Amino acid sequence: MRSISRRSPGLLLATGALVLGLAGPASALPGKNSIDKNDIRTAAVNSSDIKNGVVGSLDLAFGSVTADKIGDGQVNSLKLLDGSVTSADVQNDSLTGEDVKDNSLTGNDVNESTLQGVMPAQTRFVTEQTAPVSGAAGGTPAQITANCPTGERAIGGGGAWLIPVLNGGNDPTALDRAFLSASMPSPAQPGTAAASGWTVAGRNVTGTDRILRAYAICVPNQIP
């Protein structure tokens, strides 16, 4: 009768463990692109592990990129969608002339009331007047010039004798015996490039006090 050799319990246990280890489920991940977020430890992937240019806008959660994640000067006009930047996105007084392209702004882009030294309309009336001039017998001559502000020029004008005590001095005198002898640009020399104002002269022979007023129509020296 053949004898059966006895094996030690430790050897049997070691052998069983080896068999189970070889026959157990495979631990390797099958195929390519099979890793999901549950396979990666938190914070295990950093920027050096990501190939340049492989992360697109669809890979970023909405609102996940904030100002502190963008380097100064990294965002230029090519990276902004047309019309995406509004006045609410621009801090007051943060833009200078260097930030605005030449000739890119029109009148529709500028609130004229915010400009200093620029009149809201392209033309304005400027007036000057004398003190009341006596209309004694023989008449009293007078002359006055309405000057345009600095940076503007006169393109027209005129004058009138006015009644001081009526309608705040804005009622014209009847033509009889209130004469205008001159109404002309100032200076009025031929060849002058632009007039700086308008001059009128006349004589009051009405027998009562009258005001001589000059009117100038002024425009900017350079009209857009």
Name residues whose C-beta falls within 8 Å of residue 169's C-beta, 6 or more positions apart in sequence. 129, 162, 163, 211
Domain ranges (residues) in the chain: 129-220
Is pLDDT at 146 greater than 90 in this prediction?
yes
Q: State residue 45's pLDDT score.
A: 78
Q: How many CB atoms lie within 10 A of CB 183?
A: 16
Instruction: Indicate whether 115 pLDDT > 70.
Output: no
**Residue 159: predicted pLDDT:** 95
Nearest CA-CA partner of 186 in 140, 147, 139? 147
Let me know: does 165 contact 156? Beta carbons within 8 Å: no
Is 3 or 154 the better-scoring residue by pLDDT? 154
112 pLDDT band, cuts 50/70/90, is: low
pLDDT at 10 exceeding the cut of 70: no
- Is the whole-model pTM more than 0.75? no
Confidence (pLDDT) at 122: 80
Q: Is the pLDDT of residue 25 over 70?
A: no
The average pLDDT across 6-18 equals: 57
Q: How confident is the model at residue 110 (pLDDT cuts 50, 70, 90)?
A: confident
Res. 103 pLDDT band, cuts 50 70 90:
confident
The mean per-residue pLDDT over the stretch 9-14 comes to 57
Q: What b-and-e string marks burial along 34-43, b requiring 16 or more CB atoms within 10 Å of the CB?
A: eeeeeeeeee
Q: Which of 11-15, 72-76, 188-192 has the lowest mean pLDDT?
A: 11-15
Angle at 99 between CA 94 and CA 102, to 5 degrees: 140
- Radius of gyration from C-alpha coordinates of the chain: 46
Neighbours of 178 (CB within 10 A): 23
The rounded distance, in Å, linking the Cα atoms of 185 and 158 is 9
Residue 182 CA to chain centroid, in angstroms?
47
